[in-house]
Amino acid sequence: MIVVLDTSVWISALEFGGIPDLALVRALTEDQVAISDFIRTEIMRVLTGKFARDPAELEGQLDELLVQALFVEVTGEITGVCRDPNDNAILETAWKAQADYLVAGDKDLLSLGTFGGTVIISPAAYLELQ
């Protein structure tokens, strides 16, 4: 399966652990993680800004985690689906990756249920998949 994790799941996993971290570990070990530069940049921006993580250390950690990841380019083709333009970029990542699942902590994304053939689910629901 191809799985995209939204920025909030990445940040929660890397900063707090818990269910988002379990979802990240599952995605990295059992499925194919897809990511865009948009998502990676947002992870870096939030964790180095709001949480004062060291940029070089975080960059190295992400490089290690994403060594097998599928990278897709977000060009702004998806617009107007969500009120937050950042959410549209997350949807575009999933759409371009032809992701089976978008694992999201964002309520606006979760409320969509599906987009372009991708099922949008919470980290807890992702962990319950067989």
Res 109: pLDDT: 92
| Whether the Cβ atoms of residue 94 and residue 118 lie closer than 8 Å to each other | yes
29 in Cβ contact with 1 (< 8 Å):
no
Which domain does 83 fall in, by range?
A: 2-128
The listed range with the strongest mean pLDDT (73-77, 79-83, 116-120) is: 116-120
**pTM (two decimals):** 0.93
- What does DSSP assign to residue 76? S
pLDDT more than 90, % of the chain:
88
CB burial of 100-121 (b: ≥16 within 10 Å; e: otherwise) equals bbbbbbbeebbebeebeebbbb
Tens-digit pLDDT profile for residues 19-30:
999 999 999 999
Q: Give Dmax over CA atoms of the chain in angstroms.
A: 37
Radius of gyration for the alpha carbons in the chain, expressed in angstroms and rounded: 13
Residue 85 CA from chain centroid, whole number: 15
Total domains in the chain come to: 1
**Burial of 38 per CB tally in 10 Å (0-12, 13-18, 19+):** buried
pLDDT digits (tens, 9 = 90+) for 28-55: 999 999 999 999 999 999 999 999 999 9
What's the chain's average pLDDT?
94
**CATH number of the domain encompassing residue 100:** 3.40.50.1010
Backbone angles phi, psi at 91, to 5 degrees: -60, -40
Percent of the chain predicted with pLDDT > 70: 100
